[in-house]
Structure formats: structure tokens, C-alpha cells
Structure 1
Amino acid sequence: MEPNKVQSEGGLNVTLTIRLLMHGKEVGSIIGKKGETVKKMREESGARINISEGNCPERIVTITGPTDAIFKAFAMIAYKFEEDIVNAMSNSPATSKPPVTLRLVVPASQCGSLIGKGGSKIKEMRESTGAQVQVAGDMLPNSTERAVTISGTPEAIIQCVKQICVVMLESPPKGATIPYRPKPASTPVIFSGGQAYTIQGQYAIPHPDQLTKLHQLAMQQTPFTPLGQTSPAFPGLDANPPASTHELSIPNDLIGCIIGRQGTKINEIRQMSGAQIKIANAMEGSAERQITITGTPANISLAQYLINARFRDVAAMWNDPSSMTTS
């Protein structure tokens, strides 16, 4: 596309599709009572706005139309989110207003053009619009797309989206794009008598042993039990609770999903929980590995909770075994 054809509105009047990733609460705000808000947005912007179906914690909002219609739709979404922030603040003691944040889902093959050589393009966008722009380093699960997070005032976000559209028009995606599809909150798996079953049609089919094992591990500890045991009041009130240690045994064939690729998952759990987590080396003849968690009772219970949540995530991803090792 010849750059001189780019007009002041940020792009040619061509049809473009932009995908947004939203949490359930944000989607509820966009849909509005009886779908009135999204209906108004569609009518006033002239853009097609589709919201992915499904019982998922995250949903994909797809906006399609001529560039000017897309900018109008984005403006309406950004102002709606700001309105939500203002309303939420009227009921809270917080004084500084958080920025509006939108997450775009962009084919990974276009992210290089958005970042620019040595980060020049993304730096230029930040400086010229005043918005914060972050391109995720990793691709979204089971896709070739990355999340691009934009935050700032609605005006800054709209200017930033215009610039992103120009880049996307000038640098089309290369190769096939595998779109990100959020995973359902509840997987079609039922557990009965310690055995896992998947629902296929009208029948419950026994699930592979590993998933049953995952479920049993996830159910071994209920989240945050140590908090109640150590202090019936709020645990955070104790400034220096004593450090203690908790041990878990994890089957060898499941330890990989806790460690993650190059240790990414275990490091994430360490950072989020604040606990020290050591994984013992595999013992000859033993089918299990020992995990030692050290920290305050709150740290330990959070680490346990995150480990259990990881097992549940892996159980949910069972239908796609390739994601077991990559996520």
C-alpha cells in the first residue's frame, strides 16, 4: 500500500477487522441491559460488533468495518470503560483514576511491525499519543496471536488505535493465522468416585488416568486452608508471621506441567506467592517428586492454591495434549 494514500483519519477507507480480548465484566458493560449498549454502538458507529459465545472467563469482541466506523466503535468502548471507572470510583476511597485499558489480539506476524526496529515504532506511538502500549512476548495459548495492551485516556487510546490500524494495513499478516479462542470456564468433564469422565454426545466416557490423577491432586488441598489454622483473624495483620515449610508429592509424569517450559510456570508461582519452592531431583525407583514450599502460612497456602489451579488448568486443556508442554 502506498503511504501517501494514508489519510488523516489514520487509514484508507478499507474494511478492517480488529479483535479485542475482554473479561466477562467488561463484556457485560459493552452488551448493556438487554443488549441495548452494543445495539447503540453498532448503530452509531456503523461497525459490525460480534461477541464470542461461550461460558468463558474471557471473550473475543470482533469489530469489523471501514476504518472510520472502527474508530467510532473504539471511541464508544473506551468512553464506556471510562464511565465504568468513574462510577466505580464514586463508591471507593481511591483518589487517583486508573487508566482505561483495552487488549487487542494481533497476529504475531504483525507484531514486529508494531514494535519497529529496536522498538522505534512502539516508542513513537507512546510519545505521540500519550498511551501506554505493551506487546506481549508470548503468543496466546494454542494460537499464533499476541495480546497488545493499550492504556491511557480514551482520547489517547483512540489515537493509538488509529496508528495501529495504519501499521496493520501497511504490514498484512504473513502466513496462516491461528486465532486465539478462549477456553471455556468449565470443561465437559465430570468426576465421580475418583474417576474422570468426558461427555461425548449423551454418554460419559471414562477419561485417561492422568486426568483423574490431576483431579485428585487438585482436590487434595482446599485453597488457603493454612490461613484459618494459623490465625483466625486476618493473616495480613501479623507483620512477621513465622516461616514454615510444607511438603507435597507430585507424580513424575505431572511435574512438567508445574515446572513449565524452561521453568516459567514454577517461577511464576514463586513470584506470585512469595514462597520459596524447591523441587527435589527424581529418586531412582520412585514414581513421585517431592516439592518443598517455605514461607509464611499465607505464602504457602497461596503457592498450594496456584499449584492446584495449575493442575485444574492442565485438566481443562486435556482435549489438546500439545498445550500440555507449551503452556
Structure 2
Amino acid sequence: MIHMRCLIVTQDASIIIGKGGSHVNEIREKSGARVMVSESIPGNPERILNVSGPLDAVSKAFGLIVRRINDEPFDVPSVPGSRAVTIKFMIPNSRMGSVIGKQGSKIKEIQEASGARLNASEGMLPGSTERVLSVAGVADAIHIATYYIGNILIEAQERMPSASGSSYRPSSNSRRPPTTSSSTPYVPGFSSYAAANPSQQLQTQQIYIPNDLVGCIIGKGGSKINEIRHLSASQIKIMEPGAAGVSVAGAPAPTGGEGERLVVITGQPANIQMAVQLLYHRLEQEKQKQLRAQTASNSS
């Protein structure tokens, strides 16, 4: 599983979404990836495109996105003379070295394999620790290049799972960094048309979290859990100690270990996934904080 973010101009965002979300729903259906576009920010010409899922589905989605921007059919190879589209991926600075490779070896390898052109920005985006990796090419080239880039990022994540940073947040004045100095990735208000469809039935997902980390999930006065509820548009209930999961719609009940607390999340499928990502990110933040404190204590 991988989550890739990129900047797109508002005009291309409108094309990708389509009337009533028709285009973005088709891309989701044909690729098997989750595709979401952030809300438009007045005064900012760019929006964030989020694509997540298995790597092959994500890379296929980006190929389809380029076809949609170029108004090309989805089911035929790119023809010679197709217009090259530039996808501006946002890559954490800590991962960019892995993508570039020693003396640019990885970028050269991706360019040769895909036919796309890659260029990594020198500086970071305002108020964040992310840099832009521009990938230009026709649909098939973008599809192949995205697969290579995603594979490198997954390998880097396995080697250095603790790497974290602050993600770029579009604002009306993107030249000026945001005033908040949070290391939490920006989760914009998603235009999730599938999730906005009232005919979709609510679903329930049950996960377990360590009992000693429940406090960091809830936050002072419930501030953190309320923020996650708001961002994900999901109902989140932290059960009492000892509560066990129940089977839902034929799915077996999840089992928790000793010292774990059951969390029940209810909402649209896309919103549930966002809630789970936010919860796990919060847990990871807290674990890293505890690890740093322990390291500092040992060194002193």
C-alpha cells in the first residue's frame, strides 16, 4: 500500500473530477485506487491530488489521470505525438535522495525505463519538509515512472519507517509559510464524490490500539479525537477496556491482545480509511516522541 500526493492546477483538477464526480469515479473503478482531490483554495492556483492503494493500482491511476487530462481513451496505448503532461509529486525531503540515487543514477534508470523526464526541485515547499519531483511524459510513461518511484518509496519506508515531516498545505498566499508549526501531514477537505453519495451505506471497521496510547488519541479535553472525527467525517468510538470486537456483515470479529483497546469507526468507506490513517499517524507520532524522550534520558 502506498499514498502519493501531487500538486495539480485547478483547471486540470476540474477535468479529473468531471461533472458530479463522474470522471474521478471512473478512474477509481478502472484502477482500483482511491483518488481524492482537495478543495479549491481561493487565490491559490493549485490543489492536492491524493492517490492511495496497492502500488500497481496507484501507478495505473496516474496513467488514467493523464489520459483524462489529454481526453484520450483509457484502453489503448499512448500514440506517438500525445501531449506530455507534468505530474508534480510531493516527496518528503528525507526520501528524495533515495529517488534521485547516487549521482542521479535512480532518476536516469526511471527515465530510461519509462520514457518520462524527471526533475527534482532543490528547495522545499513553503512551510513543509516536502520537495517537488516533476515527472513529464505521456500516459504510459507516467504510469511506468510512478510505479518505479512508488517502489523506491516503499523500500525506503521499510528501511527508515520512522521518517516524518510536515506536508505542504496550499494557502491563498503559498509564498508565505503557514503560521502553524505542526508536523502532522495536511489532510485537506476532500472532494470525495463517492463518499458524498447518500445512497452509499455506512460501514463499520474495528481496530485495536495500545491501551497506554489511548490518551494521545483522545487529547486534552477530547481535542485530538474530535479533530480526527471532523477531518474524516466519521464516527469514532473508543470502547471501555475489555470490550471485544463483534462480527459485522459476515466479517469475523477482530481480536485484540492484552493491553489493547477496541476502537469502532463508522462512516463511508473512504472516510473510514482516512480515519484509520489519521489514527495510525497519531500513534506513530506518539511512539516517536516517546522514543526520542527515552533516547535523551539514556544519553543523559
Q: TM-score normalised to the size of structure 1?
A: 0.48
Displacement of 1:83 in angstroms is: 2.2
Query: 1:105-184 counterparts in 2 under 5 A?
Result: 105-172=90-157, 175-184=163-172
Compared with structure 1, are the counterparts of its residues 52 and 132 closer, same or farther at alpha carbon in structure 2 (3 Å cutoff)? Answer: same
Aligned to 2:8: 22
Compared with structure 1, are the counterparts of its residues 107 and 319 closer, same or farther at alpha carbon in structure 2 (3 Å cutoff)? Answer: closer
Q: Deviations over 1:59-96 (max 9, x none)?
A: 11111111122122112102112228xxxxxxxxxxx7
Aligned to 2:215: none
Structure 2 unmatched ranges of 5 or more: 73-80, 182-300
**SS of corresponding position for 1:171:** helix
Displacement of 1:98 in angstroms is: 4.2
Q: Deviations over 1:98-153 (max 9, x none)?
A: 41211111111110011111111111111222110001111111000011101112
Counterpart Cα distance in 2 of 1:158 and 1:122: 15
**SS of corresponding position for 1:175:** coil
Aligned to 2:61: 73
Displacement of 1:20 in angstroms is: 1.3
Q: Please say if residues 105 and 147 of structure 1, whose CA atoms lie closer than 8 Å, have aligned partners that are also in contact.
A: yes
Residue type at the aligned position of 1:23: V
Give the number of the structure with larger relative contact order, counting CA–CA contacts within 8 Å between residues 6 or more apart: 2
Identity of aligned residues (%): 37
Aligned to 2:46: 58
Q: Please say if residues 90 and 130 of structure 2, whose CA atoms lie closer than 8 Å, have aligned partners that are also in contact.
A: yes
Query: 1:280-319 counterparts in 2 under 5 A?
Result: 317=176
Q: Deviations over 1:202-248 (max 9, x none)?
A: xxxxxxxxxxxxxxxxxxxxxxxxxxxxxxxxxxxxxxxxxxxxxxx
Aligned to 1:204: none
Compared with structure 1, are the counterparts of its residues 46 and 134 closer, same or farther at alpha carbon in structure 2 (3 Å cutoff)? Answer: same
Displacement of 1:184 in angstroms is: 2.5
Counterpart Cα distance in 2 of 1:16 and 1:34: 27
Displacement of 1:26 in angstroms is: 0.8
**SS of corresponding position for 1:114:** helix
Q: Please say if residues 100 and 152 of structure 1, whose CA atoms lie closer than 8 Å, have aligned partners that are also in contact.
A: yes
Compared with structure 1, are the counterparts of its residues 97 and 68 closer, same or farther at alpha carbon in structure 2 (3 Å cutoff)? Answer: closer
Residue type at the aligned position of 1:320: T
Residue type at the aligned position of 2:125: L
Given candidates 14, 18, 23, the residue that maps to 1:37 is 23
**SS of corresponding position for 2:51:** strand
Aligned to 2:249: none
Residue type at the aligned position of 1:76: L
**SS of corresponding position for 1:183:** coil
Q: Please say if residues 63 and 70 of structure 1, whose CA atoms lie closer than 8 Å, have aligned partners that are also in contact.
A: yes
Structure 1 unmatched ranges of 5 or more: 1-14, 85-95, 186-312, 323-327
Structure 1 stretches of 4+ moved >3 Å: none
Displacement of 1:97 in angstroms is: 5.9
Counterpart Cα distance in 1 of 2:84 and 2:31: 23
Q: Deviations over 1:162-181 (max 9, x none)?
A: 11011001112653220111
Displacement of 1:28 in angstroms is: 0.5
Displacement of 1:321 in angstroms is: 9.3
Q: Please say if residues 54 and 184 of structure 1, whose CA atoms lie closer than 8 Å, have aligned partners that are also in contact.
A: no
Counterpart Cα distance in 1 of 2:65 and 2:136: 13
Aligned to 1:83: 71
Displacement of 1:44 in angstroms is: 2.1
Counterpart Cα distance in 2 of 1:71 and 1:16: 10
Q: CA RMSD in A?
A: 2.2
* Larger radius of gyration between Structure 1 and Structure 2: 1
Residue type at the aligned position of 2:16: I
